[in-house]
Homo-oligomer: A and B are copies of this chain.
């Protein structure tokens, strides 16, 4: 291994030091880079491409549902943002305030959006007059700012991040609730059908719901190596909480009715979850559908024989063209001054799903050597119908990656009604599915009771919190809550969390 390979290779194993492994893989796969302001990260083209694919899929889906795209200002006045009490309670400590312009103080400081309910809803109040103006369904792709002071981590928790936020208004509760779950299902598709990451859809507990929402639906992912759940996207039913505060009502059958509202968002956290779930000791492993390069071709066995090289490159050119015709994103790494071994490492750490190694012997036999990154398997294949073969192979890789991830995730879910087993499982980096009363005090109690302190009272391991009440839920009758004396209403999914 030469110095460059050492410099660019992974120097830590995923199971051994997961936090360090993550920091290395996002940098070395050139997904992000650090920046000189804490909690702000640079999304490099290799990382941003994933976001582009997600945007394209989601935009197409919501377009078809009649959601329209718009853009609201990122600045918000104090009076607007303080209108909904529970909402501002949630966001106040993280608000960034602009107080100066040039050398001058600004008369009334303004905040940067942490989310846009209070920015958009005054307009909703102005625009909506009649039930015929409903539904109003708007979406914007933008940046938001939340001044996180600790635990910042690329993609997972940043001060500035990118997201889409959808905001809709309906005449009836039924229509609004239907949309909440429809969108949640789209978010699930993003994770499962594009990023090959399994998620559990559910409802957030009262303590964990969005500030100002009636209820919050969520999809929860899980990271086996850290033993932590991660909130993957949320879709909120706001009921009439905001419409009453912002006076958003429409005339229907000669009476004024407050509208029912939703808001829903998915962020660039998606990318971090994907990296954590799929990456391995050699670096990133890209799910094929979001990978900027799906197939890389590396010529091998190059000698000082111009005639032979020309023939080999023609053979490869033909393959490249065929893959492009099959809508495969292919890159031919034709550099002559770089050894194949170096190229292998280069593309391996970036996680390109398929590598074709093609040398004079392959040319002679009409073959290609096919390497699949996710299982590090190498096999020889016929060159014939290579486009069709690799199209299918990419789908197989996606499906396999999803199944492996799901199997691993499922092996980390423990079902119990014993508090002792609960504590053991948390220490074993697992999630728990337990009978639960859903009471907010019990929610707090579980977190506190599962937090582990050292002899000086310092927190050694954070407590488990309610991740969600899964939509797929066991029926209970007469059973007790895992922690308190109240009756269990449903399963609760608990675990440590990002």
Asked if A309 lies at the interface with its beta carbon under 8 angstroms from chain B, I say: no
Say yes or no: B110 contacts A102, CB within 8 Å: no
Asked if A99 lies at the interface with its beta carbon under 8 angstroms from chain B, I say: yes
Q: Give the interface segment out of A33-41, A183-191, A197-205, A476-484.
A: A33-41
State the Cβ distance, A81 to closest chain B Cβ, in Å: 11
User: A74 to B45, alpha carbons, bound, how many Å?
Assistant: 17
Chain B residues whose CB sits within 8 angstroms of the CB of A35 once the complex forms: 72-73, 123
Chain B residues whose CB sits within 8 angstroms of the CB of A126 once the complex forms: 33
A residues 54-106 touching B (CB-CB < 8 Å): 68-77, 80, 92-103
Query: Given known contacts A37-B77, A71-B42, A123-B42, is B101 in contact with A98 (CB within 8 Å)?
Result: no
State the Cβ distance, A90 to closest chain B Cβ, in Å: 12
Type the 1/0 row for A136-168, where 1 means its CB is closer than 8 Å to any CB of B. Answer: 001000110101010000000001101000000
- Across the interface, name the chain B residue whose C-beta is closest to A42: B72
Chain B residues whose CB sits within 8 angstroms of the CB of A147 once the complex forms: 101-102
Asked if A44 lies at the interface with its beta carbon under 8 angstroms from chain B, I say: yes
Query: Given known contacts A45-B70, A73-B35, is B102 in contact with A93 (CB within 8 Å)?
Result: yes
| A48: contacting residue among B43, B69, B93, CB under 8 A | B69
- Across the interface, name the chain B residue whose C-beta is closest to A100: B97
- Across the interface, name the chain B residue whose C-beta is closest to A109: B100
Say yes or no: B110 contacts A101, CB within 8 Å: no
Query: Given known contacts A33-B123, A98-B112, A102-B92, is B74 in contact with A143 (CB within 8 Å)?
Result: yes
Say yes or no: A48 contacts B73, CB within 8 Å: no
User: A40 to B74, alpha carbons, bound, how many Å?
Assistant: 9
State the Cβ distance, A45 to closest chain B Cβ, in Å: 4
**Copies assembled:** 2
| A74: contacting residue among B68, B93, B160, CB under 8 A | B160
Asked if A313 lies at the interface with its beta carbon under 8 angstroms from chain B, I say: no
A residues 448-466 touching B (CB-CB < 8 Å): none
User: A72 to B143, alpha carbons, bound, how many Å?
Assistant: 11
Asked if A52 lies at the interface with its beta carbon under 8 angstroms from chain B, I say: yes
Asked if A340 lies at the interface with its beta carbon under 8 angstroms from chain B, I say: no
Asked if A122 lies at the interface with its beta carbon under 8 angstroms from chain B, I say: yes
Chain B residues whose CB sits within 8 angstroms of the CB of A149 once the complex forms: 101
Chain B residues whose CB sits within 8 angstroms of the CB of A332 once the complex forms: none
Chain B residues whose CB sits within 8 angstroms of the CB of A143 once the complex forms: 74, 142-143
Asked if A18 lies at the interface with its beta carbon under 8 angstroms from chain B, I say: no
State the Cβ distance, A478 to closest chain B Cβ, in Å: 46
Query: Given known contacts A45-B69, A69-B48, A98-B98, is B138 in contact with A75 (CB within 8 Å)?
Result: no
17 pairs of residues in contact across A and B, judged by CB atoms under 8 Å: A35-B72, A35-B123, A37-B77, A37-B110, A40-B73, A42-B73, A45-B69, A45-B138, A51-B71, A71-B162, A74-B143, A75-B159, A94-B102, A96-B100, A96-B101, A97-B99, A101-B147
Please give 17 more A-B residue pairs, beta carbons under 8 A apart, in addition to A41-B73, A73-B160, A93-B102. A33-B127, A36-B122, A40-B73, A40-B75, A42-B71, A42-B123, A43-B72, A45-B68, A45-B138, A74-B160, A75-B159, A93-B103, A94-B101, A95-B102, A96-B100, A97-B98, A99-B100
